Amino acid sequence: MNIIVLAKHVVDTAALRIDPKTGPVFRGALTKVSDYDKHAVEEAVRIKEKTGAKVTILCVGPTEAARTSLKEAVAMGADEAFLVSTGSSYVFNNMLTLMALINSIKRIGSYDLIICGEVSEDLYQAYIGPALAVQLGIPFIGSAVKMEVNAGKIRVERKLEDVVEVLESPLPAIISVTREINQPRIPTTMQIMKVPLAKIKTIAPGELGLSEVKDKEDDISVLEKLEPAKMASRKGIKVEGAPEEVAEKLIDALKKEGVLE
Amino acid sequence: MSKVWVFTEEPKAALHVLSPAINTASKFGEKPALMVPSGKELDGIADRGWSKIIALKGLNDGASFEYASAVATLMKKEEPKIVIVPGTKLGKEVAAFIAALSGAAYAPEALDIMLDGEVIKYARSILGGGVIATYKAKAPFLVATYQLYQYPPPEGGHTIPEVTEIEVSVERSKVSRVEVRPLEKSGVDLRKADRIIAVGRGLAKREDLAVIEELAGLLKAEVGCSRILTEDYKWLPSERQVGLTGVIVSPRLYVAIGISGQIQHVIGFNKSKIVVAINKDKNAPIHQYADYSIVDDLYKIVPALISYLKKTSSQ
């Protein structure tokens, strides 16, 4: 059985500096494997441990991903990784990523299962999984909280607003996973360092017959601007003193605001 | 047919996107059309000012791919400009499939849809919510979802259009539903809460939730939390998570206790009327987003609040 895991290398949004005038500052920003995708890697490695499957990590992203995110994913137990390098660019549109994934999947060859995180941490679209399934002509099931592979089929449990659904699909299929599905193992720094670079292949989009990387434009859409989000303006009143004093001042203020009953 | 469509598998959810749908359709001088799988209850939905209601026949219940395939087939024939899908969990999957099948531009959880002459533009929140991205569609049409509970729906009472039943040829889904059971959950919906006491990483251990719950009880508030308490610690169920990956809330009072104030969380309570922050770290970003800011240990302030509230309520 061959499993492909789509793992995205993202800017760590929790640590991203956003200039109030110019927006996000990507230079020197911390990066990481998208949290959701770690759960996808973990799920694939668990299937590998049970069935002896081969796990290939696939990433479309900046060159530095090979040294960081992809080494980490291999250290978690994947067999090899494949990076379609976009140079120093983070891609904000979908078509290049989608075409790069399709062409690399063809190059990887046969596959039974593709697993990805339900969203990526930077763009939150939940688009690539369903779109890739449409392009490859295979089924997609989103937001798995549990999955089980058995005799050419996959059984997936997922939660909608009011119900739990158990769905079944023939393989190959694409499944996206929630963060609830498992607890990803954390490889040690030593384990990550020891991953031989030979297990990580980096290729240029050109080698897959794709045009140059345009990070903000494809045939479907153009990213026109990135601006800092505007937050509500707040009063910024400091409530100070001993705890008893603070409690009294705060409750009085909230009563005056009319937000307590 | 209208240039703006709303598709939903759950007619009640259409109310969550009614306001933006009417607004967008008015830019074309029209009313939006509603599309639902056939056999759904439309009471309280049908009279909301739709130009047309289409019931799609012959689709397997809950089959997101078949819903999308039906809508994409109709799009080819009728050439709408914008298809809006309410962002239920299934709706988001349907919308992504529609966009992929039709070659549309895609605006998941859109903040705004703009028309610049013939050109469609859309804005959405990315990179944890701190950044707004504005895109221009190159494709001639757009599929968009909106988060639920963002726009109160306008009143009904409009003339109900005739419901047209249509059977379109669809690509069948290979996914079969083998079981459906009710989801056990706490039943809380923070999007409807008037007051929320939210707690984060500053809480040292699970048992201490009891103190937070006691304070919430005294203030007649619901308990909410930041992502770490649901996804990492698993101390609280996911419906209590406020933020980009949880729920977007708009209470009158939001009290953030031991929460650092990462942008993903802030975006979740930004619509609150009054925000209180309690965090002993004076440099924690949460203090910038608060109307009332307390730089002190939650383990001192929360008990003081509890005893003050108890004292004053017994007087």
Q: Which residue of B has its CA nearest to A247?
A: B305
Which residues are registered as beta bridge partners of B4?
B82
Number of compact structural domains in chain A? 1
Backbone angles phi, psi at A100, to 5 degrees: -65, -40
Domain ranges of chain B: 4-166, 190-313
Residue A250 lies in a domain: no
- Show which of residues 212-251 on chain B sit within 8 Å of chain A, judged by CB atoms: 219-220, 231, 238, 244-245
ipTM reported for the complex, 2 dp = 0.94
pLDDT at residue A15 in the model: 85
Q: What is chain A's Cα-based Rg?
A: 22
Superfamily of domain B4-166 in the CATH hierarchy: HUPs (3.40.50.620)
Cβ neighbour number for residue B91 with a 10 Å cutoff: 26
Q: Which residue of A has its CA nearest to B300?
A: A243
- Show which of residues 185-214 on chain B sit within 8 Å of chain A, judged by CB atoms: 195
| CA separation for the pair A206, A100 (Å, rounded) | 10
**Å from B302 to nearest chain A CA?**
8
CA distances to B36, B70, B163 from B46, in Å: 11, 21, 9
Residue B315 banded pLDDT, cuts 50, 70, 90 = low
pLDDT at residue B286 in the model: 96
Q: What is the CATH number of the domain that holds A125?
A: 3.40.50.620
- pTM for the whole thing? 0.92
CA distances to B120, B264, B289 from B260, in Å: 38, 11, 11
Residue range(s) defining the domain that contains residue A68: 2-208
Whether pLDDT at A10 is above 80: yes
Q: Are strands A2-6 and A113-117 parallel, antiparallel or unpaired?
A: parallel
- Give me the CATH topology for the region B190-313: Rossmann fold (3.40.50)
Q: CA torsion sign, A91 to A94 to A100 to A105?
A: positive
Residue A143 lies in a domain: yes
Residue A216 lies in a domain: no
**Å from A107 to nearest chain B CA?**
22
pLDDT at residue B194 in the model: 96
Percent of chain B with pLDDT over 70: 99
Contact A237 B263 (CB under 8 A): no
CA B45 from chain center: how many Å?
A: 19
- Closest to A47 in 3D by CA, of A79, A69, A75: A79
| pLDDT per residue as tens digits for the range A159-193 | 998 999 999 999 999 999 999 999 999 999 999 99
| pLDDT per residue as tens digits for the range A25-82 | 998 899 999 999 999 999 999 999 999 999 999 999 999 999 899 999 999 999 999 9
CA B157 from chain center: how many Å?
A: 25
pLDDT at residue A147 in the model: 98
Q: Which residue of A has its CA nearest to B303?
A: A243
**Å from A105 to nearest chain B CA?**
18
| pLDDT per residue as tens digits for the range B64-92 | 999 999 999 999 999 999 999 999 999 99
C-alpha torsion angle, residues A178, B238, B92, A185 (rounded to 10): -10
